[in-house]
Amino acid sequence: MGTAVTMDKLVALCKNRGIIFPGSEIYGGMGNTWDYGPVGVEIKNNVKRVWWKRFVQESDNSFGVDAAILMNSRVWEASGHTTSFSDPKMDCKKCKTRHRADNLIEMHSKGKVDPDLMTNEEMEQYIREKEVHCPICGGFDWTNIRTFNLMFETSRGVTDESQNKIYLRPETAQGEFINFLNVQRTTRAKVPFGIAQIGKAFRNEITPGNFIFRTIEFEQMEHQWFCKEGTDSQFYEEYKARAMQFLLDLGIKREHLRFHDHEKLAHYAKAACDIQYLYPMGWSELNGIHNRTDYDLSRHQEYSGKSLTYVDPIDGSRYLPYVIEYSIGADRLMLALLAEAYEEETLEGGDVRGVMRFHPAIAAYKAAVLPLQKNIAEPAKALLQKLKKKFSVSYDEAGSIGKRYRRQDEIGTPFCITTDFETLENGTVTVRERDSMQQLRLPMDEIEAFLAEKTAF
């Protein structure tokens, strides 16, 4: 974060710059849903693209899937989600709002107390003893903690009698686990190998309203690495390092990131940690890396009755692989990148410019083409048509060139390309760089190669 940015500021600028709008806004909104606008959808697509490039395309032995969102309900019984995917909730009896007990404790203790280490009784006791008040009405009259399953239910079937309860998936991971043998068989991959997926997940979350940090519909980018027991700890460390390097390569400062080891592990997990980011509201989880042992494959084997055993082609040994899971929310990463990129820079002479210093690979538009004078727009339009075939490019001919530069700075466009009378004479254009505001003159036919080099990830 160049300039300390508040969440309110980020929400407002995202709305004003076509990055993210409140969901269902003209109907008064719908809590915890957000719509990506023309600039935001480009950024988010880039986020997903660079993740896929790093963890599938450039990774040895990693393969992608795109599994169905709606799955056989037995999947969620096997995974444990139908019985234990719930949050501890308390109702304020005064204003009738519902809250997560763990969130109340985190907010009250400003992150110093970790509610993950507490039982429900301990959380109730903390809230009563410390007199944690309702953040909405200020009241102090709580119900006891009750647990609610976070999965959204729907039903399938044509007639009322034939309706079966099904769920919107709360994570993409299960689509990777249940396709383990399909992927292994069709790719002829040998363990260790990985299966990755990017897709929507849904959770009936109550959140304290931290913008796109925690929403009821979000996208996950998940990667499961299947490996032999005994090699798992080494791969766990490797994925921690790879996950961190990815964030650093996107331009996030190391001092805004930290590892957070889980002290309380799920019963099947051997090790688990998050990478946290210093969001405007404080340190919070950005992604998770888990050593899930052979729990997932053994549960699906048990519940489906189908063998998921891997047979080693070299030594003929048969086993269920361990899984190292690396999971990151595309929206949550987007929030970190927005917060990290935001800067209000004071220029010589006292002017302040708002600039989003995105990594060029993430920026919505790789360049903006700006004819200096409207009446000599032809070369600019020709350049635009050429560049559009390779990159997402913006075009603007309205207003002073200074204002047009500022508009592009505000959405993080890394390069502005200006055509002028000289372009007509010798075919060169001015390229202005967003961060330094330095300008250089280049032949028009070198721009494509210039952008390809400067915006690569």
Structure tokens at 133: 């008040």
- Residue 285 engages ligand GAP in binding (rule: CB under 6 A): yes
- Residue 81 engages ligand GAP in binding (rule: CB under 6 A): no
Burial class from Cβ neighbours inside 10 Å (0-12, 13-18, 19+) for residue 158 reads exposed
The DSSP annotation for 252-292 comes to: --GGGEEEEE-SS--TT-SEEEEEEEEETTEEEEEEEEEE-
Residues 38, 42, 47, 51, Cα dihedral to 10° = 140
- Residue 287 engages ligand GAP in binding (rule: CB under 6 A): yes
Interface residue with ligand GAP among 21, 133, 183, 205 (CB under 6 A) is 205
Segments of 330-414 assigned E as strands: 342-346, 352-356, 367-371, 393-395
CA–CA dist 330, 379 (Å, integer): 38
Contact code string over 26-65 relative to ligand GAP, x by CB under 6 A: ----------------------------------------
Nearer to ligand GAP, 329 or 371 (CB): 329
Give the distance from CA 401 to its chain's centroid.
34
CB 150 → ligand GAP: shortest distance, Å?
Answer: 9
Interface residue with ligand GAP among 46, 103, 149, 215 (CB under 6 A) is 215
Which residue number is nearest to ligand GAP in terms of Cβ? Answer: 329
One-letter amino acid for residue 151 of the chain: M
Interface residue with ligand GAP among 79, 210, 220, 276 (CB under 6 A) is 220
Task: Read off φ and ψ for residue 453, nearest 5 degrees.
Answer: -70, -45
- Residue 218 engages ligand GAP in binding (rule: CB under 6 A): yes
CB 212 → ligand GAP: shortest distance, Å?
Answer: 7
- Residue 203 engages ligand GAP in binding (rule: CB under 6 A): yes
Pairing state between β 415-419 and 367-371: parallel
CB 166 → ligand GAP: shortest distance, Å?
Answer: 19
Structure tokens at 145: 């903690």
Interface residue with ligand GAP among 40, 199, 280, 288 (CB under 6 A) is 288
Contact code string over 317-336 relative to ligand GAP, x by CB under 6 A: --------x-xxx-xx----
Question: How is residue 118 annotated by DSSP?
Answer: S
CB 286 → ligand GAP: shortest distance, Å?
Answer: 6
Nearer to ligand GAP, 325 or 420 (CB): 325
CB 114 → ligand GAP: shortest distance, Å?
Answer: 15
CB distance 200 to 290 below 8 Å: no
CB 254 → ligand GAP: shortest distance, Å?
Answer: 19
Provide the 3-class DSSP secondary structure of residue 323. Answer: strand
CA–CA dist 180, 239 (Å, integer): 19
Nearer to ligand GAP, 24 or 186 (CB): 24
48-73 in b/e burial notation, b at 16+ Cβ within 10 A? bebbbebbbeebeebbbbebeeebeb
Nearer to ligand GAP, 142 or 202 (CB): 202
Q: Which residues bind ligand GAP (CB under 6 A)?
A: 171, 173, 203, 205, 214-215, 218, 220, 222, 285-288, 325, 327-329, 331-332
